[in-house]
Amino acid sequence: MPKQPARLVVPASHPLIGVIVEENGQELTEYFGDENAADAATTDRTTKAALAVIGAWSDLDWDEMEAALDRIRHESVPTPPIDEFS
């Protein structure tokens, strides 16, 4: 397990951003005091995760899947309009 810092200090004008990650099967939270650093850390992980799923559905028959999605769309009851002033 990573060593826990005794304290973390960031300027009041910067939000403390927690990014949940998984390392060695354990869920951890990395904290950032800079939004750009948090974005950089998550972008790399997000890109790797997205690339890992490419081809996950390649074994499915496209015509069959398209027909099933179309059937679900036609069988589903539409969501009623949202009344903002209710």
Kindly list the domain boundaries of the chain, sorted by start residue.
17-75
For residues 64-85, one letter each, b for 16 or more C-beta atoms within 10 angstroms of the residue's C-beta and e for the rest, the string is: eeeeeeeeeeeeeeeeeeeeee
What is the per-residue pLDDT for 75? Answer: 95
What is the per-residue pLDDT for 66? Answer: 92
Report yes or no: 18 and 29 within 8 Å, Cβ to Cβ.
yes
Q: Tell how far CA 25 is from the center of its chain.
A: 18
Give the residue-averaged pLDDT of 25-39: 87
Name the pTM for this structure: 0.45
Residues in CB range of 2: below 8 A, 6 or more apart = 23, 28
Asked if the model's pLDDT at residue 2 lies above 70, the reply is no
